[in-house]
Structure 1
Amino acid sequence: MHDHPDRRSGQLDTRRACAVDLLDHVVLAILCSTLLYSVPFPQPSWLHRTEVTSTTEIDVTATIRTPRVSVCMPVYNALPLIESTIESVLAQTFTDFEILIRDDGSIDGTREWLEERYGGDPRFRLRYNSQNYDVGGQYNLLFHEARGDYILKLDADDIILPNLLARLVAQAERLDADFVGAAYEWLDMTDGSQRRPASQEELMDGLLEDAARAILIDNPYSLCFSIWRRSLLPAIERDGQYVLHTETCDWEAQLRMALAGARFATVTDVLGLYRLHGHNRSSRPQRQLRSVVRDTLPYWFERLELAVGKATLGDFIKRLLAQYLRGLVRGRSALDREILIAFARLLGRRPRRPDRCIDGMWRRDLIVPPSGYDSPFSQRS
């Protein structure tokens, strides 16, 4: 049985109408697609998604940001002062930094406080020692782990002003300096008074002349308010370490840099506050003197003679001895046989190198590494 002609005509008209509608949709889709790809507005991610296959190489190191500055902070029983110290770093106008904190076995809750407060902050890298390594050991580990172009070693009880990093980095770049130190003031925690160290009175803004002599005799900088290039590390390493384990490792680290030929520069504006609270290492002058004449000067004696001259080094040692003897007469110093023997050896130009050598210079009365200790420095690539 055949369809009626009128029915066949109606079906044909319906098919034609559907075809026209389909053609209209295709044309509309093409126009929309053309506009979508030609108009400069943000496209959804699915339009430019990259298909990752098994042969695609992914640079995972590209996701690890290298900061301009590594703020290295050795910590031990630092509550409550550490909070304001960290906040002074976070308040910096120069923000391209990481904060690398290494806790040396605190027992006052410092570790727990750090984890709770900053454990999830990507700017922080928190490290914890299983035992106490003392200040020198902390420095060595922190410097080894730093990633920044510059290093700022900041103690957990000091304050840096908001523009310190910006000023020091700018000065380093402008003068092509390896080390830039800022002026600072002592802040007495008992009465709130501030005063500037006498060693900074003659500092001039700009490059420091005869750095080895200036660091040895005047000690004008604090490592806490100075930045230095991480590229100096290979030049200052000796016996597998970057600093000795002594009471004066800040000063000794600067001596290393000066003897390595680093260019020192100064910013004479006060950019830091060194808080005095009775527990600072600087409040133990006799222990510091013992460290200088028994450890640091014997360790660098030959290099210092070449850098500053025998006469200058000899005069410096005699001046230290005179200060110590005046302290004895006035009752400010105690008689220390070890200090007197060290002076005699230095003045006789027969210094004895520090007497404990285990994987570098480890002082027996400061820190001895545990049995089987594996130094990260001796195997550094």
Structure 2
Amino acid sequence: MYNHAPIVSIVLPVYNGQKYVKESIASCLNQTFTDFELIIVDDCSQDQTPAIINEFAQMDSRIRVIRNKQNRKLPTSLNIGFAQARGKYHTWTSDDNVYAPAALEEMLGFLASYQNTDIVYCDFVKADQKTGQAREWIVKDIDYMGRGNPVGACFMYKSEVFNAIKGYDEGLFCVEDYDFWLRVYRNGFKFSPLHKRLYIYRCHGDSLTETRKEQIQAMTLKLNENHFRELAAGKTQAMLRDADLWPTTPINPSLHQKKVAIWGWWQGENLGDNWIKKTLARFFPEAVFIDTREHNFEKYDFVICGGGGLFIRGVIPPWNKLPQVPFGMLGLGAEFAHPDDNARELAAKAEFFYLRDDYSVACMGVDPSARSYDLTFAGPLPTNSEPDFNKAFFVWRDPDKLFAYPDFEKYIGVDGDYTTWKTKLSGEFSRVKEDNFSTKQCGIEQLVSDCGFVISARYHGIVAAIQRGVPCIGIDLCPKIRSLMREAGLEEYCLKPGETGPLCHLIRKAKREHLDIRKKQSAYCSKARQAVLGHINSCVTSINNSMRRQTDPDMRKARCEANNGYLSMSLS
């Protein structure tokens, strides 16, 4: 064991890690920076792990081994390890992951150059053991905190950070790291990203990330909710304002003398997209709206891609040719599943990347942390106090203008057009108002203002119904409608193709259960609005940071060095 206090303390917790732990330990010992201690905490392994780590410890005096007498789980093992740490800087690694040879040297060098930084975190490579594929993971700005874990798998921090936070919460197994970073963030410590690939993160079937996936997702959502509650309570700088739709961090006009553009499906006469445009205009009042036919991005300082249900194959090609213009993607929705690796590449390059529903996240194959909600929830429509169930609003699709037009026979058992639907609905309501949502005569607010029931084949018809708090039937024309109804707890009120009998039954059921429906809609609106406001604030901060990087020569230099300093890494 080292007789002097080392500069860096690495903690390596391990439980039954015989398959990969040799590589993990070797990657620590092979660092170009050598003044460190490696504290291995064996959490009562039952395989060959103890023999493997003891063999390494006999060969290298920098290794210290602690063996738990019983299995204590990861957060407790981390606390046990760091309680013995003597280094000025702390980090930890997993038994199945691998450091790049210069990882410690690079992170220490960054902390020395930027002494106000308390925590540095780095890009890494995700290696899928099943497919043999590896892809780069570019970490996000720290303002992403609260939407997901921006720190990732490779980091280093000053020892006083751990001491101030009092370690990892031992009751939060599987999300102890994210909780730790949330508390560090709320306590005002400074995070800085280092955009160099310094770590290999292994994805395999035995990892905690895979075996506890659903538990991790549920607990992460809970942590996010608690984090926003802390922010809203004013314990740190408030990122949400319940009484105000404006972002708490406005775009700094001095940072962009040219233009911020919002690129979307504005050339259409889609009322839903116009609603999104109106919402975005409130948050980005100086932005220029350009439609998807324009690909001349060079004249803008920053481009936001955000226009609701953009067809993914229509979005990807022009962005593949995008010059070096900073961009972000906000509130996108995938119409139909077009799996495309380019979407994941765009997510990695974007300053921010938010999709509006689970379906879009799944079909684009991006990380679940990119999940958001429809942008219109940032400033939802006022709730109808007492819905009049005699008045219904039927939202249909125009076959002359839209490619996705319902085969009515699949839904109501007879062939026809929207007038056939209207006739059928007249048997359940004394008044049926209809619209194809492509009108320019009025906005969504006016269309749904006096209705007590909505039947919609359009996504934003359902969004409007949820925000208004009126019972709704979703015509399951495309997956995003089904996804929205499911997320709001209303999937049982979705009319699916081939189920021609239940329309009237569903309407009567929804009328009977309207109080329960309104309760679910209200809860969904509250959750969605909170998340979207937080995401928009994060986006504004990212735009400001991007502008700052463009105008600050030191930051430009640091970014250039980072881009030129990527390591070539592979697994044998």
TM-score class normalised by the smaller sequence: 0.5 to 0.7
Worse overlay, 228-237 or 152-161:
228-237
Q: 1:217 to 1:88 in 2, by over 3 A?
A: same
1:47-101 deviation line (CA, Å, top 9, x unaligned): xxxxxxxxxxxxxxxx831111111111000012010111111111000100001
1:229 aligns with 2:158: yes
1:214 aligns with 2:144: yes
Work out whether residues 16 and 48 of structure 2, in 8 Å CA contact, stay in contact via their aligned partners in 1: yes
RMSD between aligned residues: 3.6
- Counting only pairs closer than 5 Å after superposition, residues 292-303 of structure 1 correspond to structure 2 as 292-294=220-222, 296-297=223-224, 300=227, 302-303=229-230
User: How far apart, in 1, do the equivalents of 2:150 and 2:219 lie?
Assistant: 18
User: How far apart, in 2, do the equivalents of 1:109 and 1:90 lie?
Assistant: 20
- Counting only pairs closer than 5 Å after superposition, residues 137-216 of structure 1 correspond to structure 2 as 137-176=76-115, 177-197=117-137, 200=139, 203=140, 211=142, 213-216=143-146
Q: 2:57 is matched with which residue: 95, 118, 134?
A: 118
1:213-238 deviation line (CA, Å, top 9, x unaligned): 3222253322x41001111123212x
Q: 1:106 to 1:245 in 2, by over 3 A?
A: same
Work out whether residues 75 and 101 of structure 1, in 8 Å CA contact, stay in contact via their aligned partners in 2: yes
For residue 321 of structure 1, report the CA deviation from its aligned partner: 10
- What's the TM-score, normalizing by structure 1? 0.60
> 2:130 is aligned with what amino acid?
T
Uncovered stretches (5+) of structure 2, i.e. residues with no partner: 242-246, 249-329, 332-353, 363-478, 490-519, 530-572
1:83 aligns with 2:47: no
Secondary structure of the residue aligned to 1:172 is helix
Match in the other structure for 1:100? 39
Aligned length: 264
Secondary structure of the residue aligned to 2:146 is helix
Secondary structure of the residue aligned to 1:196 is strand
User: How far apart, in 2, do the equivalents of 1:286 and 1:324 lie?
Assistant: 17
For residue 285 of structure 1, report the CA deviation from its aligned partner: 3.2
Q: 1:290 is matched with which residue: 218, 225, 228?
A: 218
Secondary structure of the residue aligned to 1:217 is coil
1:126-184 deviation line (CA, Å, top 9, x unaligned): 00111111112122222222111111110010011001100000101110111011110
Secondary structure of the residue aligned to 2:145 is helix
Work out whether residues 243 and 252 of structure 1, in 8 Å CA contact, stay in contact via their aligned partners in 2: no
User: How far apart, in 1, do the equivalents of 2:240 and 2:41 lie?
Assistant: 39
- Counting only pairs closer than 5 Å after superposition, residues 1-381 of structure 1 correspond to structure 2 as 64-119=3-58, 121-176=60-115, 177-197=117-137, 200=139, 203=140, 211=142, 213-222=143-152, 224-237=153-166, 244-283=171-210, 284-294=212-222, 296-297=223-224, 300=227, 302-305=229-232, 306=234, 307=236, 308-311=238-241, 322-323=357-358, 347=527
- What's the TM-score, normalizing by structure 2? 0.41
User: How far apart, in 2, do the equivalents of 1:171 and 1:290 lie?
Assistant: 34
Q: Which has the higher contact order (CA 8 A, sep 6+)?
A: 1
User: How far apart, in 2, do the equivalents of 1:159 and 1:281 lie?
Assistant: 16
> 1:170 is aligned with what amino acid?
G
Work out whether residues 70 and 100 of structure 1, in 8 Å CA contact, stay in contact via their aligned partners in 2: yes
User: How far apart, in 1, do the equivalents of 2:196 and 2:360 lie?
Assistant: 35
For residue 287 of structure 1, report the CA deviation from its aligned partner: 1.1
Aligned-residue sequence identity (percent) comes to 25
1:243-299 deviation line (CA, Å, top 9, x unaligned): 6523222222111211111111121111111011112232243211221234x3465
Work out whether residues 248 and 291 of structure 1, in 8 Å CA contact, stay in contact via their aligned partners in 2: yes
For residue 322 of structure 1, report the CA deviation from its aligned partner: 4.7
Question: Who wins on radius of gyration, i.e. which is larger?
Answer: 1
Work out whether residues 146 and 228 of structure 2, in 8 Å CA contact, stay in contact via their aligned partners in 1: no
Work out whether residues 44 and 68 of structure 2, in 8 Å CA contact, stay in contact via their aligned partners in 1: yes
Q: 1:246 to 1:322 in 2, by over 3 A?
A: farther
Work out whether residues 246 and 291 of structure 1, in 8 Å CA contact, stay in contact via their aligned partners in 2: no
